[in-house]
Chain A
């Protein structure tokens, strides 16, 4: 008697508190088990299979009784019935079919009818041959079918693993990878899953992509599994009556986390092969987590190096840029102290220029550091572009001297919802930038309007200077990037601040080279229509 291949125990009833609570409703798979492609969903029922065997053999017998065929022909019909049955039932019932059909055939049809006694040697040989053929054919058919099924399962497992590996390899971030992996797990195992990773305090926390929200008991179980690096829960030796299966993600050192799978309620058991698949999944996900940990460690090191470099650049640049006006101030003050103002009528103007320059530099440094610290909270209010241009001009004073500035406003130019002080800073920086890179006396134009298609308001600062070299355009808005300016001064913060301030207000800045006729820097903000203004 071959051992029944796929029998273990009845499914455990779901117990609240023993496992997790599903994040999504899982009522339907519990109520009506769908045919499962992965899990063994039911214990094969001998009763039902034996009934099938009895039914078919009975049917052949009754049909044969009323038919004119002799017992030789009916023997072949029995043989056919046994092979058909072997395609449907397991090996035990197939054996029963072979033995049963031989006995019924002998009893009912082989002369003498309705008797088990055999008359001659021929009939003995016939019955014996029939029995051997029926049994062998039935067992072979069953065996081939079982092999075919196991082959299919193996292929499905290999495909699943292949899909997982591919999904993980394609993932660019840890979050992507975990989401892809958990989706694969959910799809293949037809349940819910969660990935628990330790946080900075050393507690396991479910990843955001988890489809299962573990309760306190589940977390305690996961913690145990993580600390002991041993699997636990359903289908394992530890707490097999739990709702979920807990698999440690084994890395080089301590476990990296825990993969928690809740199989559907109708899943009865897992075979050793399936178990291998769980472990393979856990191993793949562990690799992903490990890879991400290494990558973020590498990135941190790179960021540190980069910020170190920036700080050094900042210090060099700042001390150099600050010293120039300071040197002017010191020399001018010394001259005035020694000789009096009458002998140096130009010195006060020099002092004023130097202090303005210092003041602007300090303003830019302050803005940049506030932008980096995230300390800028825009106070959005309605602003008029004309106001901003006027106050930016007033602020810049003689820095724009000798440059004609034209304001080209669309008739339907709406008010901007922005932070006036920040936007004024943007305008001064853009005007000063144009003044810095364009030859003296070249005109500047400010064009403003409404881009209804994109739902935004724009202000373009167009100059007629040398334009922006193609190589520089990509880095134009990075800090400490300076072009070849005529004065050769500045911290290289102006445009980086412009971008930072615009983004803080929900807008942005773009640069384009206007076909060899100077540079155009365009800022834009989302267009927000205001409520109507009463006439009076």
Chain B
């Protein structure tokens, strides 16, 4: 994964022993070093001591709310954090993402999905390696010349559409909340205007996707935001 050949370290903060065991099994198999913490407090201590590359944080911890753990973490580090949630915690999930979590997974989840999410999170660290030319399925984006080509033909995007696409591209594989996208593309005072986002996303999909009604790349996370999936099969 990493260039130096050292194994990336993952800190798993979850109170369920069986889940931690399974995560350890999956992650070690994929070449990660795994640290475990059963409570929020232990997790905060371990994060400060070990400085892992990425943290997997359960939202339902026995000693303190996962969102609070996240806020405490964000006071001193912007380590990538993947949160785990269960059904019925929609509000917490959005709150955690807005508070700086980088992505989320709903329990139950598959091992492959977890590894894909972690890969996307770790990619962000290697920001310096960012290429000028990105490919999303049949679409090629030149980040320097700000041009988009689909199957060899130029696609005309308006400045806002390009800004939206660019934001998702630079965070590809990760979920971005409505608030984050609106704040980034339209400015913080328009963070609540979700319908802007819906309308522009529809236009962008018509230009980028083969079938705008069944998007492969520009995917919706219901009630949360959008995610650009680059390795869609």
The chain A residues found within 8 Å of chain B, CB to CB, are 355, 359, 362-363, 366, 370, 379, 381-384, 386-391, 393-394, 407, 409, 415, 419-421, 423-424, 530-531, 533-536
- Among B20-28, B43-51, B66-74, B85-93, the one that faces the other chain is B85-93
- 19 A-B pairs besides A381-B194, A384-B201, A424-B223 with CB distance below 8 A are A362-B87, A379-B91, A382-B195, A384-B220, A386-B213, A387-B198, A388-B222, A390-B213, A390-B215, A390-B219, A391-B221, A391-B222, A407-B213, A415-B198, A419-B223, A421-B222, A423-B222, A533-B195, A534-B196
For the complex, what is the distance from the CA of A398 to the CA of B87, rounded to whole Å?
Answer: 21
Decide: B194 and A363 in contact? CB cutoff 8 A.
no
Residues in A with CB closer than 8 Å to B194 are 381-382
Work out how many contacts link A and B, with CB atoms closer than 8 A: 67
For the complex, what is the distance from the CA of A161 to the CA of B52, rounded to whole Å?
Answer: 85
Known: A379-B91, A390-B213, A415-B195. A536 touches B158 (CB 8 A): yes
For the complex, what is the distance from the CA of A533 to the CA of B178, rounded to whole Å?
Answer: 16
> CB of B212 within 8 A of chain A?
yes
For the complex, what is the distance from the CA of A363 to the CA of B108, rounded to whole Å?
Answer: 11
Residues in A with CB closer than 8 Å to B108 are 355, 359
User: What is the 8 Å Cβ interface bit string for chain B, positions 183-214, against chain A (1 contact, 0 not)?
Assistant: 00000000001111011111000000000111
Query: What are 22 A-B interface contacts by the 8 Å CB criterion?
Result: A362-B87, A381-B178, A381-B194, A381-B223, A382-B194, A382-B198, A384-B220, A386-B202, A386-B212, A387-B198, A388-B222, A391-B221, A391-B222, A415-B199, A420-B222, A421-B222, A424-B222, A530-B195, A531-B193, A531-B195, A536-B158, A536-B160
* Closest chain B residue, CB of each to CB of A359: B108
* Closest chain B residue, CB of each to CB of A394: B219
> CB of B5 within 8 A of chain A?
no
* Closest chain A residue, CB of each to CB of B87: A363
For the complex, what is the distance from the CA of A393 to the CA of B223, rounded to whole Å?
Answer: 16
* Closest chain A residue, CB of each to CB of B107: A359
> CB of B152 within 8 A of chain A?
no
Interface residues on B, range: 20 to 34
Q: Counting chain A CB atoms within 10 Å of each CB, which of B178, B193, B198, B202 scores highest? A: B198
The chain B residues found within 8 Å of chain A, CB to CB, are 87-88, 90-91, 108, 158-160, 178, 193-196, 198-202, 212-215, 219-223
For the complex, what is the distance from the CA of A242 to the CA of B232, rounded to whole Å?
Answer: 85
Cβ contact of B159, chosen from A393, A533, A536, cutoff 8 A = A536
Determine how close the nearest CB of chain A comes to the CB of B206; give it in whole angstroms: 11
Residues in B with CB closer than 8 Å to A359 are 108
Known: A382-B195, A533-B195. A387 touches B222 (CB 8 A): yes
Determine how close the nearest CB of chain B comes to the CB of A445; give it in whole angstroms: 13
Residues in A with CB closer than 8 Å to B199 are 415, 533
Residues in A with CB closer than 8 Å to B91 are 379
Known: A390-B219, A421-B222, A536-B158. A366 touches B214 (CB 8 A): no
* Closest chain A residue, CB of each to CB of B220: A387
Decide: B158 and A393 in contact? CB cutoff 8 A.
no
Residues in B with CB closer than 8 Å to A390 are 213-215, 219-220
Residues in A with CB closer than 8 Å to B90 are 379, 421
Residues in A with CB closer than 8 Å to B220 are 384, 387-388, 390-391
For the complex, what is the distance from the CA of A381 to the CA of B214, rounded to whole Å?
Answer: 21
* Closest chain B residue, CB of each to CB of A414: B195
Residues in A with CB closer than 8 Å to B219 are 390-391, 394
4 tightest A-B contacts by CB? Answer: A421-B223, A420-B223, A387-B220, A382-B195
For the complex, what is the distance from the CA of A17 to the CA of B166, rounded to whole Å?
Answer: 75
For the complex, what is the distance from the CA of A379 to the CA of B213, rounded to whole Å?
Answer: 24
Decide: A379 and B223 in contact? CB cutoff 8 A.
yes
For the complex, what is the distance from the CA of A362 to the CA of B87, rounded to whole Å?
Answer: 9
Residues in A with CB closer than 8 Å to B222 are 387-388, 391, 420-421, 423-424
Residues in B with CB closer than 8 Å to A382 are 194-195, 198
Residues in B with CB closer than 8 Å to A531 are 193, 195
For the complex, what is the distance from the CA of A379 to the CA of B195, rounded to whole Å?
Answer: 14
Residues in B with CB closer than 8 Å to A409 are 213
